A and B are shown apart, each in its own frame.
Chain A
Amino acid sequence: MSAYLIAITILTLIYVLLALGLTLQFGLTGLINFGHVGFFAIGAYTSALLTLNGWPVGVGIVAAAVAAMLPALPIGYISLRLRDDYFAIVTLAFSEVVRIVVTNAREWTSGTQGLPGIARLYASLNGAASEWAVLGTILAVTLLAIWMITRIARSPFGRLIQAIRDNEVAVKALGKDPAWFKIQVLAVGAALAGIAGAFYAHYITYIVPDQFVPLVTFYAWMAITLGGASRISGAVVGSAILMVLLEGSRFVHDFLPMISDSAMASVRIGVVGLLLILCIVWRPQGLTGKRGDA
Chain B
Amino acid sequence: MTTTSRRQFLQGAAAGAAVLSLPQLTFAQSAGVFRIGALNPITGSGSTFGTGMLKAIQAAADVVNAAGGAAGIKFEVISEDTQTSPQAGVLAAKKLLDVNKVQAVFGTWSSGVSLAVVPLTNDANVILMNTSGAPALSVPPANAKGLSFRFQATNDRFGRAFAEVCVKEGFKRPATMAFNNASGIGNADGFKKAWEGKGGKVVAGVVYEPNQTSYRSELQKVLDANPDVIVTGSYLQDTTIIMREWYQSGIPVKWILPGWAGSPDLVKAVTAPVVEGVISVDSVSNSGAESYKLYDAAYQKAMGKPGSSNVYAAMTWDMVITLALAIQSAGKTDTDSIKAHIRAVANPPGEEVFSYEAGLAALKAGKKINYQGASSALDFDEYGDVTPDFGVSFIEGGAINQKYVVKI
Query: Which A residues have a C-beta under 8 Å from some C-beta of B?
Result: 1-5, 7-8, 11, 100, 103-104, 106, 111-114, 116-117, 120, 127, 204-208, 210-211, 237, 241, 244, 247-248, 250-251, 253-255, 260-262, 264-265, 283, 287-288, 290-291
Residues in B whose Cβ lies below 8 Å from that of A241: 12
The answer to whether A117 and B95 have CB atoms under 8 Å apart is no
16 contacts between A and B (CB under 8 A): A2-B98, A4-B94, A4-B95, A7-B94, A100-B209, A113-B134, A114-B112, A116-B142, A120-B119, A204-B87, A205-B116, A211-B86, A250-B95, A261-B50, A261-B80, A287-B9
| B83 is an interface residue with CB less than 8 A from chain A | yes
Contact of B43 with A by CB under 8 A:
yes
Secondary structure class of chain A's binding surface, majority of residues: helix
Across-interface contacts of A250 in B (CB, < 8 A): 80, 92, 95
B300 within 8 A of A: no
Query: Bound complex: CA of A71 vs CA of B91, how far in Å?
Result: 31
Given contacts A112-B180, A112-B185, A250-B80, is CB(A4)–CB(B112) below 8 Å? no
A262 touches B112 (CB 8 A): no
Q: Cβ of B87 and Cβ of A211 under 8 Å apart?
A: yes
Task: Decide: A127 near B42, CB < 8 A? Known: A4-B98, A291-B1.
Answer: no
Other-chain residue from B2, B5, B20, B43 in contact with A5 (beta carbon distance below 8 A): B20
Given A111-B180, A112-B180, A251-B23, check contact A204 B94 (CB 8 Å). no
Q: Does chain A have a CB within 8 A of B130? A: no
16 extra interchain contacts, Cβ-Cβ under 8 A, other than A117-B141, A204-B87, A251-B20? A4-B91, A4-B99, A11-B87, A11-B91, A111-B185, A113-B111, A113-B136, A205-B116, A206-B116, A237-B9, A248-B19, A251-B22, A261-B79, A261-B81, A265-B81, A287-B8
Q: Which of A103, A208, A262 contacts B47 (CB 8 A)?
A: A262
B86 near A116 with CB under 8 A, answer no
How many B residues are at the interface, by size bracket? 35 or more
Interface residues in B118-164 by Cβ distance below 8 A to A read 119, 123, 134, 136, 141-142
Complex CA–CA separation, A79 to B51 (angstroms): 46
Question: Do A114 and B115 touch across chains, with their CB atoms under 8 A apart?
Answer: yes
Q: CB-CB < 8 A to A3: which residues of B?
A: 94, 97-98
Give chain A residues whose Cβ lies under 8 Å from the Cβ of B85: 210-211
Given contacts A2-B98, A127-B123, A261-B54, is CB(A112)–CB(B182) below 8 Å? yes
A13–B51 Cα gap in the complex (Å)? 32
Residues on the A chain within 8 Å of B12, using CB: 241
Q: Does B186 contact A (CB under 8 A)?
A: yes
| A-contacting residues, B1-39, CB 8 Å | 1-2, 5, 8-9, 12, 16, 19-24, 26
Q: Shortest beta-carbon distance, B240 to chain A, in Å? A: 21
Per the bound structure, the CA–CA distance linking A210 and B209 in Å amounts to 13
Please tell me if the beta carbons of B16 and A248 are within 8 angstroms of each other in the complex: yes
Interface string of B169-185 (1 = CB under 8 A from A): 00000000000111011
**At the interface, yes or no: B90 with Cβ under 8 Å from chain A?**
yes
Contacts of A211 in B (CB 8 A): 85-87, 112
Minimum-distance CB pairs A-B, first 9: A261-B42, A265-B43, A4-B98, A206-B116, A3-B98, A112-B181, A7-B94, A117-B141, A261-B81
Chain A min CB distance to B302 (Å):
12
Across-interface contacts of A127 in B (CB, < 8 A): 123
Question: Which chain A residue lies CB-closest to B179?
Answer: A112
Are B20 and A210 in touch, CB under 8 angstroms?
no
Q: Tell me whether B83 and A265 are in contact (CB under 8 A).
A: yes
Chain A residues lying within 8 Å of B95, measured Cβ to Cβ, are 4, 247, 250
Nearest chain B CB to A79 CB, angstrom units: 28
Q: Across the interface, do A290 and B1 meet the contact criterion of CB distance under 8 Å?
A: yes
